[in-house]
Structures are given as structure tokens and as C-alpha cells.
Amino acid sequence: QLQLQESGPRLVKPSETLSLTCTVSGGSISTSNYYWGWIRQPPGKGLEWIANIYYSGSTYYSPSLKSRVTISVDTSKNQFSLKLSSVTAADTAVYYCARLVWSNSPNFDYWGQGTLVTVSS
Amino acid sequence: SYELTQPPSVSVSPGQTASITCSGDKLGDNYVCWYQQKPGQSPVMVIYHDSKRPSGIPERFSGSNSGNTATLTISGTQAIDEADYYCQAWDSSTVVFGGGTKLTVL
């Protein structure tokens, strides 16, 4: 059974960089036809897509966050990571990592449990 | 940027049929999937490719997509179906989520 687990600091100061890692277990991140993505959800609000990455390094970014986001992959560790720079209180959210099925109907079929990251001084 | 619009809330009586809509420009030209999210839990996909159910999803969940509107239908709604539901599509190399609909089973 594929499992994804987010890890990283739960508290980040304004203007600093949020860094999270997703560790994939029960399967290889280098499997064809799957991207790996980050999605966030501010408290009490809806889902917002952030970015996706393929094991080869191919990426897609949300236009609204692209200038502040970097997504990367480490196939040797079966992990992928997110960096979000210049954070503000508006970046406080539960951050999920998920697997994206790369098809004519791209969809997230496995999700991590999510981690709440709070931006506060 | 592409937008998907969902009603904020839908109410249904137990045993009745719930319909949740998702609207977007020429949405029928894209494939849509749907996620269910219960409080404090991660989203779970209940429909993909407009109308396909992943393994383990009850048959009472179905979907359709035509024109500018996709619809998630829950037949014989049960109390356990009370949750937030999100539609999602892929457009211009981006993942797009609808704003979400809170389904209340009264």
C-alpha cells in the first residue's frame, strides 16, 4: 500500500522560507505515469494546488504561486520537496503531498495525512 | 486562469439523491474528478474521468460531465456521506480545484 508522509517545520516566521518533504513508501517515486504534487488548504477553506513534479524533474506550477515556489525530487531517497519563499500569514495552511495519476484525467489518487504549517512570529 | 464554481452547500435527506454541480467554461471538454473530504481527514477521490469509480468507492457515487457542468450524484445518501466535496480538472497545464461544497445530510 502506497503511503506518503509530510515532514518539516510546523512554525515558520514571516518573510522566511517554508520547507517541506514528502517521503513515499510502499512504492517507487520513479514509476512512470505518475507525477507527485503539493496541495494546501488554509484553515476552514478549500483546496489549492501548488505544484507537481515527475521523477525526471519535469515540473508544473500554479501560476499564482510560481514566483515563490520550488519543487524538487530526490529519487535516491524516494522523496520530493517543497520550498515556498517570503511567506506571510496567508500561507498558513495544511499542506498535503499526493500522487498524481498522469493520464487524460489527471487525478490525485493517494494523499498524505497533511501537516499544518503556521506562519507567525 | 480557469475557474470551477461549486455551490457552497447542498442539503439532502437520508435515502434521497444528492446532486453537486461544478461549472466551468466548456468543462465538458475536460475530464473531471471528485474528492470527498471529511473533517480532519485528507481528501479521498470518489470519481475520476468524469464518471469512473475507484476501487472501494460505493456504487451510489456517480458522475457526469457535459457542456459547462459536471455533476456528482449520490444515490440513497447516507449519513456517512456528509462531507465536503471538491471537483478538479486539468487545464492549460494546471490543476484546478472547485471551491468545494458542504453536503449536509439532514
Nearest CB partner across the interface for B86, out of A47, A64, A105: A47
Cα separation, A120 vs A43, in Å, equals 15
Which helix (H) or strand (E) covers residue A93, if one does?
A: strand A93-101
The average pLDDT across A109-117 equals: 98
Which pLDDT belongs to residue A104?
87
**CB < 8 Å from A in window 14-43 of B:** 31-33, 35, 37, 42-43
Helices (H), B1-106: none
Angstroms from A35 CA to nearest CA on chain B = 12
- Which residue, chain included where needed, has cell 459536471? B70
Best of B90, B93, B96 to disrupt the A interface (most A CBs within 10 Å) is: B90
* Lowest-pLDDT range of A37-41, A58-62, B91-95: B91-95
| pLDDT (tens digit per residue) in A42-101 | 999 999 999 999 999 999 999 999 999 999 999 999 999 999 999 999 999 999 999 999
Please spell the DSSP secondary structure of B21-47, one letter per residue: EEE-TTGGGS-EEEEEE-TTS--EEEE
Least Cα distance to B22 among B63, B66, B69, B54 occurs for B69
Helix (H, G, I), strand (E, B) or coil at B81: helix
Q: Note whether A48 and A95 are within 8 A (CB).
A: no
Q: For residues A42 and A90, what is the distance between their CA atoms, to the nearest angstrom? A: 8
pLDDT digits (tens, 9 = 90+) for B46-62: 999 999 999 999 999 99
The answer to whether residues B35 and B95 touch, using CB atoms and an 8 Å cutoff, is: no
State which residue of chain B sits closest to A59, comparing Cα positions. B93
Q: Which residues of B touch A104 (CB under 8 A)?
A: 31, 49
Cβ pair A87, A18 in contact under 8 A: yes
Can you tell me whether residue A117 is helix, strand or coil?
Answer: strand
∠ CA A102-A108-A114, nearest 5°, is 140
CB contact (8 A) between residue B90 and residue A49: no
Cβ–Cβ contact B55 with A under 8 A? no
User: Cβ A105–B50 below 8 Å, yes or no?
Assistant: yes
Q: Which of A22, A36, A47 to mutate to test the interface with B (most CBs of B within 10 A)?
A: A47
pLDDT for B69 equals: 98
Rounded distance between C-alpha atoms, residue B75 and residue B70, angstroms: 16
Contact A46 B35 (CB under 8 A): no
Asked if A38 reaches chain B (Cβ–Cβ under 8 Å), the answer is no
CA A92/CA A17 separation, integer angstroms = 12
Given a cut of 90, whether residue A3 has pLDDT beyond it is: yes
Which amino acid appears at position A59 of this protein? T
Which of B48, B86, B90 is closest, CB to CB, to A46?
Answer: B86
Tell me if chain B has a CB within 8 Å of the CB of A113. Answer: yes
